[in-house]
Structure 1
Amino acid sequence: MINRSFTLIWVSQALSDVASEMTSLALPLAVLAATRSAVDAALVATVVGIAQLLAKLPSGLIADTYHRKRLMLLCDAARAAVALLLALALATGNLTTIVAVGSAATIALFSSVFGPAESGVLRQAVPLERRREAITRNIVRSNIAIAVGPPLGGMLLAAGAPTAFFADSCSYLLSLALVARVAYTHVARPRASTAATHPLRNTANELTLGFGWVFRRTGLVVLIAFAAYVNLLGRSIELLAAFGVSHDGAHPVSAGLVLTAAGVGGIAGGLCAGWILKRLTPTAIVAAASVAWLLMMPCASTGDELTSAVAVGMVVFSLPSVGSLVGLTISVEAPTHLQGRVGGAVTLLAISIAWAGPGLTGFLISAQGPLTASVVLAAPMVVPLIVLAASPRLRAAVGKIGTVPAREPEPEPEPESVAAAAEQDVLAHGEPAIQGSPAAATARPSLELDDPLGPFAMLALGLGRARPLP
């Protein structure tokens, strides 16, 4: 792969991603078997979603403040312990709804911290010219987990309830062992010159710095708004397709085909994302994704297994390229000391309305039927096509996504130490320079989208899969 550090992280997270997808299916089913309550089983997924949403901003600040590699190791150790406790609870017949919900929420919180910490470590490990490659490879990694994890979780649960959670615990321990070998140099975040007069006010300001960075970039805001509605549609199309192919629940096995199609489509889209980014403008990529949703949403609601699977696979195929544009912009442009908070802000905005997808879809299906529901849900995808066609300013702003303009040198106070010099370089260039290297003495060239870049962290955008990422 790209280099040793990237390979170690990619392999470690491929293992834990597959295991996490396994338990995302296995835990609600285990609760259902233990309590005979569908409400309790659904509560697990609801609490996980709430925990992830609440943790986005604080986790970004934590990752920007503390040693990122140590945070990754701590998160892996904690998740391994909780997964092992779940396995023991199942093995001894002591699994209750409270234990399941508390364990799931704890794992979700530590995963929320792990994500932005991983992004910061990868930013340092992956050379600038290979980040697009890194982004697309991580998209493929996520979609492999989506395609393989749920059916594997069902098989392990059938083999023995504790097995899936014991495998999950082992995956985190393996991840910990691999991450421990990753090379990473911590650069302390810049500190304000004067102490804040009000600690709570200063904390609120620190938490919202990522939003300020995002909202100063019009093209990125447009792309995130597009991603937010896509995440809502992602949950909707799964429900539409599953409802149709299962024939009101009479054939539940057929519904699993939808999730497999989503994973396969995401893998293919991730593999092709680098090729697409080098040949299409960001505006064309957004337009193509909009057209795909407009055409494929009605196809997914037909009730035919093959048609629905192809439709779901095709819309998910279009998403990794959009996600790569967002991930690339953040990994290249956002300063190192704001990486976590920018990522948290983007993720929070991107999943802000996704929760409404299932409820809205269910209401429309019951009121008008699957076909009408699919047309109503897909209709807003006409808006980005009209807006981009009618507004040259917005079209130009979106077209700049993925291009880093040359930065003007800014006067900086003379650093008092090597650590201070590293902080100043982070502020000026977005990543630490290697002392004594030619690159440290020269200005960075502008980076165009056509440069050969590759897979990085998806910042939990939910792009590249049919439902939002954790």
Structure 2
Amino acid sequence: MTVPLSRNRDYRLLWISQALSGAGFSASMIAFPLLVLAVTGSPAMTGLVLGVEAIAQVVVGVPGGALVDRWDRKKIMLTAEAMQALAVASLVVALWLDVLSVLHMVVVAALMGVCNALFGPAESAALVRIVPQEQLSTALAMNSARGSVGQLSGTALGGFLFAVGRLVPFAFNVLTHTISFLALLFVRVPPRDVEQRPDSHLGQEMVEGLRWVWRQRHVRVTVLCAVSLNFFFSAYYIVIIVLVAGRGVSPGEIGVMAAMLGVGGVLGALLAPYLHRMVSPYTSIIGVFWALAALTPVAVFIDSGLVMGVLFFAMALLPPTANTTINTYQLLLTPDRLRGRLSGVMGMISGVSAAAGPAFGGLLVQAVSGSNAVLLIAAAIAVIAVIATLSPTMRSFPRDETVATDASEAETTKGR
């Protein structure tokens, strides 16, 4: 009899450790730009330091995924947690001694990006061995809720703790990563069979991972559609911030807007396991495209930050179900020896999209009015929705049990 996910000791430890770690990371990432600005007085330098963290994740994504497939995944998670704790602890010490430099902050930001780029694929690959296949979609949905909860709590704490003292949010981050490290020590990850390929080089393994992603028809199409959607929604978020600020919405209400997006994400993640079972994969994915296509232009008619927050809340409800569907399919389909590379490639692609989207939104809102920028983005999302709806590949998106059966048969055939 399968043990309920709520009683799976190893999954609970992993979930709790990363909820704490995520809260600490979010608190420090809110405080980081405030710290850079306080030390340098330069907004440009603030952007540089934060950009380094994002760039490091993108650059390390693919090679990091290949290393995850080579090395012990639990050891990678432990090392990443320890390195983050030590890197941020060095900030605390430098602040305490009043010797903090810009170079030091850049190095810490880069290390944080590298650790995140390694931890994400390692956790995703290990998750399939920690929870049964039939519980994977629920585990992924709960991980999504965990991320939203960590971001909400960390974002709220970061500003408050920085007001108490510059080093306080970073000391909090060190504490959460240390506790997370200790919890991960007790997580049992079943051993895996690693293919010994002495003639293989890291570059060859990276190419193999990229080829795997490209050759899987459903993976390729969903990635292209999802990345396009994420790109335009990231741009939309920046456009909305500029739009409401120009309409006189207070910074406090803008903060509530951002929080409502997170609250919607949490509720959507909690609903995702049920919706994932109730509706077909095609419906759950296409529903997100059309929901966003319908909701994005509504912002043109809203002058209240609180009402805009309700709009953001509605927009955040369905994406966790689609993400659960897509991620479950990808992990079940992909052989264990390639799961790290799959997550690394996905992380790199989403990182590029997340970085390019806001930049595009900023340029767009400078070129045209805020309302026109909203309508242009809404039109682009509608085009993506039409393409996805008409795609034969999307219409044939398989259910979990079909994927698991096909993947098992493929591995059995390979073993023969």
> Under a length normalisation based on structure 2, what TM-score does the superposition of the two structures give?
0.92
Do the aligned partners of residues 336 and 2 (structure 1) sit closer, same or farther apart at CA in structure 2, a change above 3 Å counting?
farther
Do the aligned partners of residues 35 and 249 (structure 1) sit closer, same or farther apart at CA in structure 2, a change above 3 Å counting?
farther
Q: Residues of 2 paired with 1:91 and 1:161: CA distance?
A: 9
Q: How does 1:11-160 map to 2 (within 5 A)?
A: 11-160=16-165
Q: Residues of 2 paired with 1:357 and 1:185: CA distance?
A: 39
Q: Which consecutive residues of structure 1, in runs of 5 or more, have no partner in the other structure?
A: 197-201, 414-470
Q: Could you tell me which residue of structure 2 aligns to residue 380 of structure 1? A: 380
Q: How does 1:295-334 map to 2 (within 5 A)?
A: 295-301=294-300, 302-334=302-334
Q: Could you tell me which residue of structure 2 aligns to residue 339 of structure 1? A: 339
Q: Residues of 1 paired with 2:47 and 2:106: CA distance?
A: 10
Q: Choose 145-154 or 283-292, whichever is displaced more.
A: 283-292
Q: Residues of 2 paired with 1:155 and 1:324: CA distance?
A: 33
Q: Residue 236 of structure 2 contacts residue 377 of structure 2 at CA under 8 Å; is this kept in 1?
A: no
Q: Residues of 2 paired with 1:223 and 1:27: CA distance?
A: 34
Q: Residues of 1 paired with 2:65 and 2:291: CA distance?
A: 33
Do the aligned partners of residues 146 and 366 (structure 1) sit closer, same or farther apart at CA in structure 2, a change above 3 Å counting?
same
Q: Could you tell me which residue of structure 2 aligns to residue 363 of structure 1? A: 363
Q: Residues of 1 paired with 2:248 and 2:36: CA distance?
A: 20
Q: Could you tell me which residue of structure 2 aligns to residue 211 of structure 1? A: 210
Q: Residue 300 of structure 1 contacts residue 309 of structure 1 at CA under 8 Å; is this kept in 2?
A: no
Q: How does 1:393-432 map to 2 (within 5 A)?
A: 393-399=392-398, 403-404=402-403, 405-406=405-406, 407=409, 409-410=412-413, 412=415
Q: Residues of 1 paired with 2:254 and 2:414: CA distance?
A: 60
Q: Which has the higher helix share?
A: 2
One-letter amino acid matched to 1:206? E
Kindly indicate whether residue 359 of structure 2 is the aligned counterpart of residue 354 of structure 1: no
The structural deviation recorded for 1:122 is 1.7
Q: Choose 119-128 or 35-44, whichever is displaced more.
A: 119-128
Partner of 2:31: helix, strand, or coil? helix
Kindly indicate whether residue 229 of structure 2 is the aligned counterpart of residue 224 of structure 1: no
Q: Residue 66 of structure 2 contacts residue 341 of structure 2 at CA under 8 Å; is this kept in 1?
A: yes
The structural deviation recorded for 1:249 is 7.9
Q: Residues of 2 paired with 1:156 and 1:265: CA distance?
A: 25
Partner of 2:413: helix, strand, or coil? coil
The structural deviation recorded for 1:374 is 0.9
One-letter amino acid matched to 1:275? Y
Q: Residues of 1 paired with 2:180 and 2:141: CA distance?
A: 21
> Under a length normalisation based on structure 1, what TM-score does the superposition of the two structures give?
0.82
Q: Residues of 1 paired with 2:126 and 2:30: CA distance?
A: 30
Do the aligned partners of residues 339 and 157 (structure 1) sit closer, same or farther apart at CA in structure 2, a change above 3 Å counting?
same
Aligned-residue RMSD, C-alpha:
2.0
The structural deviation recorded for 1:162 is 0.5
The structural deviation recorded for 1:84 is 0.9
One-letter amino acid matched to 1:364? L
The structural deviation recorded for 1:363 is 2.3
For residues 73-124 of structure 1, give each alpha carbon's deviation from its aligned partner in whole angstroms, at most 9, with x where no partner exists.
Answer: 1111111111111112222222222111110111110121111111222211
Q: Residues of 2 paired with 1:280 and 1:333: CA distance?
A: 20
Q: Residues of 2 paired with 1:66 and 1:249: CA distance?
A: 53
Q: Residues of 1 paired with 2:401 and 2:285: CA distance?
A: 13
For residues 42-83 of structure 1, give each alpha carbon's deviation from its aligned partner in whole angstroms, at most 9, with x where no partner exists.
Answer: 111111111000010111111111111111111111111111
The structural deviation recorded for 1:411 is 6.1
The structural deviation recorded for 1:234 is 3.3
One-letter amino acid matched to 2:281? P
Q: Residues of 2 paired with 1:389 and 1:21: CA distance?
A: 36
The partner residue of 1:195 within 195, 199, 202 is 199
Q: Residue 132 of structure 1 contacts residue 328 of structure 1 at CA under 8 Å; is this kept in 2?
A: yes
Q: Choose 4-13 or 183-192, whichever is displaced more.
A: 183-192
One-letter amino acid matched to 1:332? L
Q: Residues of 2 paired with 1:271 and 1:71: CA distance?
A: 29
Q: Residue 210 of structure 2 contacts residue 345 of structure 2 at CA under 8 Å; is this kept in 1?
A: yes
Q: Residue 232 of structure 2 contacts residue 381 of structure 2 at CA under 8 Å; is this kept in 1?
A: no
Q: Residues of 1 paired with 2:142 and 2:414: CA distance?
A: 38
Q: Could you tell me which residue of structure 2 aligns to residue 243 of structure 1? A: 242
Q: Residue 222 of structure 1 contacts residue 398 of structure 1 at CA under 8 Å; is this kept in 2?
A: no
For residues 353-382 of structure 1, give each alpha carbon's deviation from its aligned partner in whole angstroms, at most 9, with x where no partner exists.
Answer: 332222222222223211110111121222
Q: Which consecutive residues of structure 2, in runs of 5 or more, have no partner in the other structure?
A: 1-5
One-letter amino acid matched to 1:213? W
One-letter amino acid matched to 1:410? T
Q: Residue 284 of structure 2 contacts residue 325 of structure 2 at CA under 8 Å; is this kept in 1?
A: no
Q: Residue 389 of structure 2 contacts residue 395 of structure 2 at CA under 8 Å; is this kept in 1?
A: no
For residues 378-397 of structure 1, give each alpha carbon's deviation from its aligned partner in whole angstroms, at most 9, with x where no partner exists.
Answer: 21222344334444x32433
Q: Residue 236 of structure 1 contacts residue 361 of structure 1 at CA under 8 Å; is this kept in 2?
A: yes
Q: Residue 116 of structure 1 contacts residue 343 of structure 1 at CA under 8 Å; is this kept in 2?
A: yes
Q: Residue 53 of structure 2 contacts residue 113 of structure 2 at CA under 8 Å; is this kept in 1?
A: yes
Q: Residues of 2 paired with 1:157 and 1:354: CA distance?
A: 26
Partner of 1:229: helix, strand, or coil? helix
Q: Residues of 2 paired with 1:372 and 1:209: CA distance?
A: 43
Partner of 2:246: helix, strand, or coil? coil
Q: Could you tell me which residue of structure 2 aligns to residue 293 of structure 1? A: 292
One-letter amino acid matched to 2:20? L
The structural deviation recorded for 1:214 is 1.8
